A and B are shown apart, each in its own frame.
Chain A
């Protein structure tokens, strides 16, 4: 595929994203307003009377008609202002900017761990279908997905922190001994390395280990199963039989010819697992006090914190669009057929 064709594809996909995002802005606005409960009553405090609730309503701008609220919201949005979260008292944009990297870093490491285990497992299972190896793989990944993450998390904390003392205290992204590295990307590991502070980088990795493993175990199953299925299908292909007949080394057949073809559905799965894990790791975040985006969204939802919920939905939508785009581009790089069609 030529560069021109690729940039046309990217451009076309970006255009397609516009109606999606407009739709999401409208729907998230309407849905948050449809939430039951009265945020003014909630935020007016413990001993509020009718008058002070009304005052709170006016100060939150909730006394105005819906269309006007919407116009104000869109105007702010255009200026890049996502509003102020009433429950945390911080600008939503600033909060998402600190919490999203935390979640991305955690999910990223979890997926690295997951891929490093699940892909070899899947390949192993595919080359020996229906043997004890295959069954063992199936058992392992099923166990991973069946255990609720808060349980895995607490069990890991119990063994590695409480009993053995190997893991640092599960108190978020950094032990209180350390100051966060100067912010460049928001990813602590990268920022610490950029600042050439190996000590802090090591500490961040240590904090990351248990939550990443917890989340990784949970995502083993789809990746391993997809690798196995794709590999099985490819291994039955005629070109593999030809390669075998030609006497090519087994390693080359498996890794060069079979895996390259089997990796496409795996990448699709990875994309889905990533976006799913990003929003769904609330329990992991709670157990490890991880200041991520999932717990932020859930708490905002519970108290009807309009600005925060809308900001979260919008960010996730943008993230999904970007992620899909990236996966499409990776396709064109990986898939041999797409290159030949030109």
Chain B
């Protein structure tokens, strides 16, 4: 028996098929059940979330390697799986926090924590990190603005452990926004040692070298291949992670990811396509967790810049014609929440998303179209993002067929990733298209702000309605327990029901598949894998 087989043998005894990594680098006595192997289909292109060009899969480095001031607690969902809890705000680096009477000053007291290099985490680090996020521009600045923090002057380090945020007005979104992967706290002294005159925020350095106080450090990063996390034994902001080391491998082919999981060579597979999720769920040897993504909808957008869609009856006709049931089955393999068949055209509560009062009824669709200015139908291209083809392709085909039956001739238009953002979201020139916006902050007004207000990025329908604009303006910062809040939101949803500038198809789910002996997986609104909570059973 050689060294390799010996190691394999011992590790196989401890937890399933967890193998020891780094034969040459690790002493033989290391405990094998402390290593997890995770695969994902996408690639991590930067270790710095603030950098321009950092892609979405890279956000998980911010989640796992850095701490934020605040985080959310955990709740158990109806199916027994775990999810973050938007209603349970907790401290991460902040030991405690206070909101002033007028809601415009937030005071945070930091816990005693150290960065990986041993330097203490101070209020100055928090200020530098937040200054960086609001100054660098691009996505971090936009996301910070959602919490009404836009200028460095708003952040104040009073002493080593007291940090203040000054707000122009009270907002319920500021605190939740501090839990986002953007609001990380960086080791400012270490970063500044690597800053230059051209690069005062050390973007070059932090791009490759994370400098945080988080639960995991990055041991190796081979772009396009793998990232290896190693546990930070001195992590102060939460319970020490179960895994000593996590190997995150990039495996582009979904079929290969599935084979690896079924063979037991890996512990967890991220971003599982709905079809694989359904089939893997039938295996006893694999556990699949599908969580409906909060505040997210897959929608069909009729663009008001396209003349026929300016007629509300045409939009409603389409909403009555969409084959909702077939879409949920064929595109999402039933892993999603129906968003059709609502009972009444006035919402009872402020639940969002909630089913719209439409269902498939072609007679009703034909009648509405006959009443409209386009009784004989028209031709329209239906566009979707090729990067989303796993659900959008079959959805588009089903819609094409259904609209054909009421006299609207649909041609399909597949658009590759780079063009998609420009054409759909920036230029907003696609007459009919599929869209999948989800808001990080789980309030209806936040969704409406991005998706129903003219000019905002995800309002790719070019919808404008004075009343909605005013309602969003009034509710966006308003506390959710304010007696005025619920009626205003209900009115907002009612208008969305009636006007349907966005026709919801279903609420999608995030699917993750893992070995049955893995515990602790928790869904997060940012859809990134929180490696800190994973542990063996």
Residue of A nearest to B425 (CB): A41
Q: Is B103 an interface residue (CB 8 A)?
A: no
List 27 interface pairs A-B (beta carbons < 8 Å), by A numbering.
A36-B418, A37-B421, A37-B422, A38-B419, A42-B421, A46-B56, A46-B139, A48-B138, A48-B142, A59-B52, A60-B52, A88-B224, A89-B46, A90-B223, A95-B224, A154-B255, A157-B255, A157-B256, A162-B263, A165-B263, A171-B39, A176-B226, A179-B24, A199-B4, A288-B256, A289-B225, A289-B256
Alpha-carbon distance A302/B55, docked complex (angstroms)? 14
Q: Is A75 an interface residue (CB 8 A)?
A: no
Alpha-carbon distance A320/B225, docked complex (angstroms)? 27
Q: Is A49 an interface residue (CB 8 A)?
A: yes
Q: Which residues of B contact A43 (CB under 8 A)?
A: 52-53
Q: How many A residues face the partner with a CB closer than 8 A?
A: 58
Residue-by-residue, is A26-61 near B (CB-CB < 8 Å gives 1, otherwise 0)?
A: 000000000111110111111111111101100110
Q: Is A205 an interface residue (CB 8 A)?
A: no
Q: A45-B138, A287-B256 are in contact. Are A89 and B54 (CB under 8 A)?
A: yes
Give 16 A-B pairs besides A44-B52, A47-B139, A177-B22 with Cβ atoms closer than 8 angstroms. Answer: A36-B419, A38-B418, A42-B417, A47-B142, A52-B139, A56-B137, A157-B256, A170-B259, A176-B21, A176-B22, A177-B21, A286-B252, A289-B225, A289-B249, A289-B250, A302-B386
Q: Which residues of A contact B456 (CB under 8 A)?
A: 49
Select B139's contact among A36, A48, A50, A199, beta carbons within 8 Å: A48
Alpha-carbon distance A234/B507, docked complex (angstroms)? 68
Q: A89-B207, A95-B224 are in contact. Are A177 and B23 (CB under 8 A)?
A: yes
Alpha-carbon distance A47/B142, docked complex (angstroms)? 7
Asked whether, in the complex, the Cβ of B250 is within 8 Å of the Cβ of A89, the reply is no
Asked whether, in the complex, the Cβ of B253 is within 8 Å of the Cβ of A286, the reply is yes
Question: A7 to chain B: closest CB distance in Å?
Answer: 39
Asked whether, in the complex, the Cβ of B224 is within 8 Å of the Cβ of A291, the reply is yes
Residue of A nearest to B21 (CB): A176
Residue-by-residue, is B420-454 near A (CB-CB < 8 Å gives 1, otherwise 0)?
A: 11110110000000000000000000000010000
Name the interface size band of chain B: 35 or more
Residue-by-residue, is B77-90 near A (CB-CB < 8 Å gives 1, otherwise 0)?
A: 00000000000000
Considering residues A44, A99, A171, A291, which has the most beta carbons from chain B within 10 angstroms of its beta carbon? A171
Q: Which residues of B contact A227 (CB under 8 A)?
A: none
Question: B198 to chain A: closest CB distance in Å?
Answer: 12
Select B418's contact among A49, A60, A162, A303, beta carbons within 8 Å: A303
Residue of B nearest to A50 (CB): B426
Residue of A nearest to B423 (CB): A37
Q: Is A332 an interface residue (CB 8 A)?
A: no
Question: A285 to chain B: closest CB distance in Å?
Answer: 8
Asked whether, in the complex, the Cβ of A38 is within 8 Å of the Cβ of B249, the reply is no
Q: Is B105 an interface residue (CB 8 A)?
A: no
Q: Is B262 an interface residue (CB 8 A)?
A: yes
Select A45's contact among B142, B251, B263, beta carbons within 8 Å: B142
Alpha-carbon distance A173/B224, docked complex (angstroms)? 12
Asked whether, in the complex, the Cβ of A289 is within 8 Å of the Cβ of B52, the reply is no
Asked whether, in the complex, the Cβ of B253 is within 8 Å of the Cβ of A287, the reply is yes
Q: Is B1 an interface residue (CB 8 A)?
A: no
Q: Which 4 A-B pairs have the closest CB atoms?
A: A45-B139, A37-B418, A37-B419, A55-B137
